[in-house]
Amino acid sequence: METVSENRCFGGTQGVYTHASDATGGDMTFGLFLPDEASDGPVPLLWYLSGLTCTHENAMVKAGAQAWAAEQGIAVVFPDTSPRGEGVANHDDYDLGQGAGFYIDATQPPWSPHFKMQTYILEDLTRLLFNAFPLDEERQSITGHSMGGHGALTLAAKMPDRFRSASAFSPICNPTQSDWGKKQFAAYLGTIDAGKAHDATELAKTGALDTIPLLIDTGTDDQFADLLCTEALAQTLIARRADATIRLQKGYDHSYFFVSTFIEDHIAFHAEALWR
């Protein structure tokens, strides 16, 4: 692992690091905010998964998470959204290829050699983080924005014992029914149908999201509302009586101005689960 930068921030440290990943077969970059409390011993970890076109950097500089993570004594990791670099497949569309890993493991060429973001997050980066930093593996929660909201909800559904709580800002809720999903599942997995195993609404139908508290915020003026299919997930979670809070935030859109407005609430929500 190499340190790219470390900046003091809200009494803690905002770092950026690169490391070799077996899963993606190349170097990956991530941001990690460690609160001051980490100098005294392991602290809880909140995963923040970013959206289409983002790198590790967008949320790290724009979401304003550090102020509230510092207040709650919680670390936040900001992974990249895909493999990158020479020899890594790409596509001209902004929503396929680099910057659009969708937090799944591709099985189809040309994506399959590097696009293994699920394994990267859940195994490679996980191992590195808990080996290299004072983080408490028993206290993890997950959040994300847009494609990263899809990632947060689906990875939480897949790992019911790992994450104590999950939340999302304007998540892609039903990607097998959306142009943010159908194209990517077809490309990465061969069929749209194969994407059902990576679709928050489909997973919720099986009860996989019944066991942890959930918080979902989406703006009423989200310019991508039709692609998010929030209503499908809401219907499913409410029918199952899941421990879910779904809030439509009046007048807000899909931007980081929306995320930064409500991230205090999300971090407080996770803190309650993480410090229990």
53 touching its own copies, by CB under 8 A = no
Tell me the C-alpha distance between 140 and 270, whole Å: 9
39 touching its own copies, by CB under 8 A = no
CB contact burial 248-258 (16+ within 10 A = b; e otherwise):
ebeebebebeb
108 touching its own copies, by CB under 8 A = no
Question: Nearer Cβ to its own copies, position 189 or 263?
Answer: 263
Q: Does residue 27 carry a catalytic annotation? A: no
Question: Nearer Cβ to its own copies, position 57 or 210?
Answer: 57
- Scanning 100-108, 126-134, 154-162, 251-259 for contacts with its own copies by CB under 8 A, the matching segment is 251-259
67 touching its own copies, by CB under 8 A = yes
Question: Nearer Cβ to its own copies, position 64 or 110?
Answer: 64
Q: For residue 129, what is the enclosing H or E element? A: helix 126-132
- List the one residue out of 186, 182, 166 whose CA is nearest residue 174: 182
Tell me the C-alpha distance between 112 and 104, whole Å: 10
Q: Does residue 145 carry a catalytic annotation? A: no
260 touching its own copies, by CB under 8 A = yes
Q: Which of 10, 91, 194, 225 binds its own copies (CB under 8 A)?
A: 10
What percent of the chain is helix, strand and coil (3-state, nearest 5)? 35, 25, 35
207 touching its own copies, by CB under 8 A = no
- Out of 178, 222, 266, 270, pick the active-site residue: 222
- Cα–Cα distances in Å, from 275 out to 11, 21, 122, 127, 238? 20, 31, 22, 22, 26
Tokens in use for 250?
């009046």
Which positions touch its own copies (CB under 8 A)? Answer: 7-11, 14, 61-62, 64, 66-67, 219, 221, 251-253, 255-258, 260-261, 264
